[in-house]
Every structure is written in C-alpha cells, then in structure tokens.
C-alpha cells in the first residue's frame, strides 16, 4: 500500500481528500496534518510515501515544506493540491521536486487519475534496471500526461466518468451496448456510450479491438488503456 499524508489547513477539505484517496486501490491514508509543522512532524514519525500538500498553510506555505523535506533528505514524493494558480508558484513547485500540481477545485476522477499514474510510475521505478531514452521520456511524462481530457462542447463530465468507470472496473473489453446496460450507466443509450468511447479512444485513454461474430460484421470492443 502507498502511504499518503494529507496536508490541508481546512479540516473539512482534508477529510474529503482523505475519503477520495481511500477509494483508490493501492493507497492508504497514513495521517492528516493541518499546518506545516504538523506535516513535518508526521513525516518524522510515520512512514509516508506520498504527500498531498496544500500551499496555503497557517504557519508556512507548501513550498517551504517541500524545501525542508529536501534539506532533511526525506525520500517522500509530493503532489501539490492547492488553489494557488500563479505561474511562479507552479514553477517553484516543479523546481523543488513536486511530481504533480493539482488545482482546486478538482473532481475525484481528477485526483484518482493522478494517483493511478503515480502508482504506475512507482511500479516501473521499483523494477530497477536501466532505461532507454523512450522509457525515460515515458517516465518523466507519466504524471503530467495523466488527467481528464478536455471535453468538447455538449459532452457531460458525469457521463464521461460513468463510461470510464465501467471500463476500469471491467474484467475485459466491453461493447458500447454493454456499457449502456451496466448498473451505473442504466438509462444511457448505446449511441451515447459510443460517442464517449470514440472520444476516449482519440485521447488515448481507451483501446479499440474488434471481435468477429457469425455475421462477419466486427463488434467494436473497448478496454481502458
């Protein structure tokens, strides 16, 4: 399990973020902190792999926490989770080793995509060995490529999330009809499911395969990539 420290000055927001993290397979909330001092104390006492770090804290800002973690030699990864949108803060976060920057407000799907990309990155790195340039490029781009694609006008984020969830939870490829008939997507038409599947395929999130039946006409089936 990847042990996560949630750092946010707002207790309610910290609880929401903790609930989000707890829903993602492979992740466990190790602790919560509501100030820079509490966050640094927790890292000293509790095994932590990843810190979800707010920038606006009552005693010091999040970038100061990242700098001190690095100065202390603490081998923890950091994803900034904050409402700070100015380019200077984003740039400083990158320079001090934050792996990703998630702007508030965000959806559960947005956070989950970052966490899943982080887990995949850790899995690859834990394998050790040597990497060719293509693999290095993939590793450096993994977290920044993660996220929800911008939806064209007329597309609903809620519907897109239903389609994504059906594919993620499936044991194998699904057709548009199977997605439309799934429990959470009940009431969605096959045409609607097909439209969102094509969008996800174009963004590289979904892989299309063909299955040929007795009629000779191939059935389009989709799997989360």
CA dist., res. 58 & res. 45, Å (int) = 21
Q: Is the pLDDT of residue 8 over 80?
A: yes
**Helical H runs in 53-149?**
62-71, 87-95, 108-126, 133-145
- Residues whose CB falls within 8 Å of the CB of residue 126, separated by 6 or more in sequence, listed in order: none
List the end-to-end C-alpha distance of the chain, in Å, as a whole number.
Answer: 23
* Per-residue CA distances from 78 to 41, 48, 99, 115, 174 (Å): 16, 10, 6, 11, 35
Minimum mean pLDDT among 122-126, 189-193, 205-209: which range? 122-126
Q: Is the pTM of this model over 0.85?
A: no
CA dist., res. 38 & res. 41, Å (int) = 5
**pLDDT tens-digit map of 161-178:** 788 888 888 888 999 999
DSSP state of 152: P
Q: Count the neighbouring beta carbons within 10 Å of the beta carbon of residue 78.
A: 25
Higher-scoring residue by pLDDT: 48, 200: 48
**pLDDT tens-digit map of 15-42:** 999 999 999 999 999 999 999 999 999 9
Stretch (H or E) spanning 6? strand 2-7
**pLDDT tens-digit map of 60-104:** 999 999 999 988 888 899 999 888 777 788 888 887 778 888 888
Triad 41, 65, 35: Cα angle to 5°: 55
Bridge-partner residues for 134, per DSSP?
none
pLDDT of residue 188: 84
How far is CA 23 from its chain centroid?
A: 12
Q: Is the pLDDT of residue 114 over 80?
A: yes
């Amino acid at each position: 399990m990847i042990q996560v420290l949630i750092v946010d000055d707002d207790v309610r927001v910290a609880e929401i973020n903790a609930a989000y993290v707890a829903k993602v397979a492979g992740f466990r909330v190790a602790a919560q902190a509501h100030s820079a001092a509490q966050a640094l104390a927790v890292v000293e006492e509790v095994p932590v792999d990843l810190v979800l770090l707010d920038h606006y804290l009552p005693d010091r800002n999040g970038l100061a926490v990242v700098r001190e973690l690095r100065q202390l030699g603490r081998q923890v990864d950091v994803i900034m989770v904050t409402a700070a949108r100015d380019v200077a803060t984003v740039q400083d976060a990158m320079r001090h080793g934050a792996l990703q920057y998630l702007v508030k407000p965000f959806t559960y799907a947005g956070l989950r995509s970052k966490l899943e990309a982080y887990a995949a990155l850790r899995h690859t790195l834990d394998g050790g060995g040597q990497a060719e340039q293509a693999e290095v490029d993939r590793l450096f781009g993994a977290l920044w490529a993660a996220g929800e694609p911008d939806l064209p006008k007329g597309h609903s984020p809620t519907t897109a999330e239903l389609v994504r969830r059906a594919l993620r939870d499936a044991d194998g490829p699904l057709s548009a009809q199977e997605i439309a008939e799934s429990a959470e997507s009940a009431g969605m038409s096959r045409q609607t499911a097909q439209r969102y599947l094509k969008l996800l395929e174009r963004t590289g999130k979904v892989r299309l395969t063909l299955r040929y039946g007795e009629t000779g006409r191939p059935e389009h089936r989709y799997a989360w990539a």
